[in-house]
Amino acid sequence: MRWTDKGRSSNLEDRRGGGGRRAGGIGIVGIVLALGISFFTGVNPLEILGVVGGVTGSAGGAQEAAPIEDAGEEPMVRFLSSALDDAQTTWRSILAQNGKEYPDAKLVLFRQAVTSACGNASSAMGPFYCPGDQKVYIDLEFYEQLDRNYGAPGDFAQVYVLAHEIGHHVQNVLGTERAMRQAQQANPAQRNALSVAMELQADCYAGVWAYQVARRGDLEAGDVEEGLGAASAVGDDRLQQQARGEVNPESFTHGSSAQRMQWFRAGLERGDPAACDTFGRER
């Protein structure tokens, strides 16, 4: 992906240098976090709760150490900053066409563990978006794992992950996230199906942004394949097969590899959020 280095985004929060104290109880927000935001879905929620309840982090970010300057990671930090600003500029324009305001999300970089408005989280849970504070949380080590352990290398694989999480922010801004949670409470039997629809829509929204990148000529050869590779790598069926040696579709919360690729491609081909109605129909 072609990009211009403009330094760090004003919407970047660098907590990689943070230390902290032992976290307390996880509470209901921790339970919601464990059930809904794990990018590596397929892990037993009870196992995730055990991780969340025992991670370390600072309270409210007040005791975080000063941001670090890691020369090895700085190029990636600046690349993600560029993609973050680009994606948010795109969504600000799209929503403005429909008379809606788009408040910027923040990108929080951390290591090992972090505290958010959704509770305490370990980097083992993968990147996530917290609607409570409108922030995306990423441990950069995740990208090495995406390449090394899941066979999804490349810079566009990295920005697909970020664009997916920004897609969740768009859902929060539009009220989709709140409506989905209410629907889950009203119909618990559809909890997983609604979660899958939510995640696939975020994949489609990532494709909508990628459409704009392609339209102005900033996609490079292999970028689309990298994005599709990342979408496939985090499909519930693939993750469950790798983790357990078997697949249980009834426990899916993010969608299969095929579904994730199909909806990312739907956004990429149409460039229209209206093409992302994962709740109303199936592909």
Mean pLDDT confidence for 2-6: 93
User: Considering only 14-18, 162-166, 218-222, which range has the smallest mean pLDDT?
Assistant: 14-18
Residue pLDDT, tens place only, 221-241: 999 999 999 999 999 999 899
Residue 122's closest CA among 178, 184, 237, 43? 43
Instruction: Provide the phi-psi class of 7: left if phi over 0, else alpha when psi is between -120 and 50, else beta.
Output: left
Residue pLDDT, tens place only, 239-280: 899 888 999 999 999 999 999 999 999 999 999 999 999 998
User: What type of residue sits at position 194?
Assistant: L
Write down the pLDDT at residue 68.
Answer: 61
Write down the pLDDT at residue 57.
Answer: 38
Mean pLDDT confidence for 157-174: 97
Confidence of residue 69 (pLDDT cuts 50, 70, 90): low
Grouping H, G, I as helix, E, B as strand and the rest as coil, residue 210 is helix
Two structure tokens written together for 168 = 């969740």
Residue pLDDT, tens place only, 168-203: 999 999 999 999 999 999 999 999 999 999 999 999
Whole-prediction pTM = 0.83
Confidence of residue 18 (pLDDT cuts 50, 70, 90): low
Say how far residue 252 (Cα) sits from the centre of its chain. Answer: 17
User: Residue 250 has what DSSP assignment?
Assistant: G
- pLDDT score of 49 more than 90: no
The dihedral of CA 87, 93, 97, 103: what is its sign? positive
Mean pLDDT confidence for 53-66: 40
Write down the pLDDT at residue 56.
Answer: 35
- pLDDT score of 36 more than 70: no
- pLDDT score of 67 more than 60: no
Rounded to the nearest integer, the mean pLDDT of the chain is 85
Confidence of residue 66 (pLDDT cuts 50, 70, 90): low
Mean pLDDT confidence for 20-33: 42
Total length of the chain: 283
Residue 94's closest CA among 267, 278, 283, 261? 267
Write down the pLDDT at residue 29.
Answer: 44
User: Considering only 92-101, 202-211, 237-246, which range has the smallest mean pLDDT?
Assistant: 237-246
